[in-house]
Amino acid sequence: MAAAQGHFSDHSDGDRGTDETADSTEANPVPPAFRRAVEALRSARLRSEIEIDPTRPPQRLAPYAYAVEAAVVDGEEDLADGRLVLLHDPDGHEAWKGTFRLVTLVRAELEPEMAADPLLPEVCWSWLTGALEARGLSYEEASGTVTMAGSHYFGGLADRRPATQIEIRASWTPREGPAGVPDTAAHLAAWCDLLCQIAGLPPAPADPGAGTVAGAGVVSLPQRRGPQQA
């Protein structure tokens, strides 16, 4: 299993987005709830097909933010990729209905026959909610978009097949547990389930150590090739 890492920002310095910004200072200490949520993210156990790396978090969406980017890799091909951002506002956010928010972007290239399915956007959205529910996670205020964009190639690229990319942009409020900290490790694992699902991988076997059944109640796309590079 891969270990999740990442960068997070406490806005104590707009030019800094690395782990050093997490260190508490007298002027702007990092809230304990946010620190524990980040530590749980870093300790999450993920499928071997997932490659996860740190990325700079957004600076103005919330007082505290942490971000990772990941890809589903088959050999040298990226079958799907995305970014997950954990936001925290200790004072709460009216639109979130909580103090934490998860924001994601997931994308993958589809085979033409899959892209022709008019119900695919609804199915893709159900993969997100299904991934959360399969791991027994409670959440609120889920919202987002599913976008399909087609590409046709001409001239020197005319030998390529038409391609369709699907993109899921979404956010949701994780239910907070003891001490006001959500189970961010489980939310990250569910998000990786979504990545694997949109990449066309079969569900992972049950993981007794995680206390969940990965892929329960979810239907995967057939396996397919990854995005072609320009």
List pLDDT tens digits, range 80-94: 999 999 999 999 888
| Contact criterion met (CB below 8 Å) for 111 and 90 | no
Looking up tokens 């079958």, which residue turns up? 79
pLDDT at 115: 67
pLDDT at 38: 95
- Identity of the highest mean pLDDT range in 1-10, 27-36, 114-123, 186-195: 186-195
pLDDT at 119: 83
pLDDT at 150: 76
Q: Rounded mean pLDDT of 216-222?
A: 39
Report the distance separating Cα 146 and Cα 144, nearest Å: 7
- Identity of the highest mean pLDDT range in 57-61, 78-82, 162-166: 78-82
Q: Rounded mean pLDDT of 164-177?
A: 93
Long-range CB pairs of 93-99 (<8 Å, 24+ gap) are 93/62, 95/141, 96/141, 96/173, 97/140, 97/141, 97/173, 98/140, 98/141, 98/173, 98/174, 98/175, 98/176, 99/33, 99/176, 99/180
- Residue 169: pLDDT over 80: yes
What are the beta bridge partners of residue 147?
167
Report the distance separating Cα 167 and Cα 11, nearest Å: 29
Q: Rounded mean pLDDT of 135-158?
A: 88
Q: Rounded mean pLDDT of 171-178?
A: 94
| Contact criterion met (CB below 8 Å) for 134 and 216 | yes
Report the distance separating Cα 176 and Cα 120, nearest Å: 31
Query: What predicted TM-score, i.e. pTM, was given to this entire model?
Result: 0.78
pLDDT at 29: 82
Distance from CA of residue 114 to its chain's centroid?
22
pLDDT at 9: 47
- Helix (H) / strand (E) containing 126: helix 120-134
- Helix (H) / strand (E) containing 81: strand 77-93
Q: Please give the residue that has the higher pLDDT: either 141 or 222.
A: 141
- Residue 78: pLDDT over 90: no
pLDDT band for position 12 (cuts 50, 70, 90): very low
Q: Rounded mean pLDDT of 7-35?
A: 54
Residue 78 backbone dihedrals phi, psi, to 5 degrees: -90, 115
Mean pLDDT lowest among 87-91, 130-134, 170-174, 222-226: 222-226
The mean of the pLDDT values for the chain is: 78
- Residue 70: pLDDT over 90: yes
pLDDT at 149: 81
121 Rama class: left (phi>0) / alpha (psi -120 to 50) / beta: alpha
Single-letter code of the amino acid located at 95? A
- Residue 153: pLDDT over 90: no
